[in-house]
Amino acid sequence: MKIEVLKLSDEKGRFLLRETSSAFVNAIRRSAMAEVPKMAVDYINVYDNTSSLYDEILASRIGLIPLTADLNSFRLPEECECGGEGCLSCQVSLTLTAEGPKMVYSGDLFSMDPSIQPSFPDIPIVKLADGQRVMIEAVARLGKGKKHAKWQPAVACAYKNMPKITIKDCDRCGRCIDECPKQLLSLNKELKVKDLMECSLCGLCEKACALGAIEVGVEEDAFIFVVESDGSMPVVDLMIRSAEELEKKVLELKEDLESIQKDAGVAEIGQRRRT
């Protein structure tokens, strides 16, 4: 597989993947959305809440605040030596104490671990009227997107085949130009596509051409892959971890198959496949 970086920042990435298949690109996408661990508030202890929001709504809002974290310093609760009870290796407390009148923001959360902070300090949590109070302990733990959306580090992750537009025997009537919703077609000496990657493959230009001079297709083994992080980790880290999680699964499968082969022998594996 060949990768070409089209656009890359901490928040967004756009890549052109060549010499691969849609199954593999989709596996990377699913891994980024569902398998990459991320830190998020799992539950809250409410000591005081006289705001207009129920405790459950506060918990939901705080849970969805993306948190930055040094992921190598923490373990998933289910893989921790404490057995998921909660210890310094698998969870961190953040406290929130505020009194109105004021708007309480994500930046008002105070973390016991400096590496764990809200990715954005200006996410509104609750508006407190005069005299209203909140006093909360929020417990953050690592988790995966397949369990809950709050642990999903990729807010957008999608791909499409690389468009391929063929123009042949065009009489330059220009009819197709107005049909393109993205205004990608231009006519000077000949009909041209300005930015092929922006083509949505809607096929309207093809339909507009009475001569069949324009044909919209795709490159079967090339994909434009777009990913956006929620701010909990840079896009590059997200993609690397997505590949690592996929690699882990493949290695687990390999180990399982090797152990079956060792226990039962190759002949018996053949038997199992037939039954």
Positions 221 through 260 that interact with ligand SF4 (CB under 6 A): none
Q: How many residues does the chain have?
A: 275
Q: Is 211 in the site for ligand SF4 (CB under 6 A)?
A: yes
At residue 127's C-alpha, the angle toward residues 126 and 128, to 5°, is 110
Positions 142 through 171 that interact with ligand SF4 (CB under 6 A): 167, 170-171
Q: Decide if 147 contacts 40 (C-beta within 8 A).
A: no
Q: Which does 22 bind (CB under 5 to 8 A by kind): Zn ion, ligand SF4, none?
A: none
To the nearest whole angstrom, how small is the minimum distance from the Cβ of residue 168 to ligand SF4? 9
CA distance 11 to 25: 20
Which range, of 55-63, 90-98, 183-191, 194-202, touches Zn ion by CB under 5 A? 90-98
Select the residue interacting with Zn ion from 1, 5, 82, 197 (CB under 5 A): 82
Q: Is 175 in the site for ligand SF4 (CB under 6 A)?
A: yes
CA distance 200 to 220: 15
How many C-beta neighbours within 10 Å does residue 159 have?
17
Q: Which residues contact 62 (CB under 8 A, 6 or more apart)?
A: 41, 44, 96, 109, 125, 136, 138
Q: Residues interacting with Zn ion, by CB under 5 A?
A: 80, 82, 87, 89-90
Q: Residues interacting with ligand SF4, by CB under 6 A?
A: 167, 170-176, 179-180, 182, 184-185, 191, 199-205, 208-209, 211, 213-214, 216
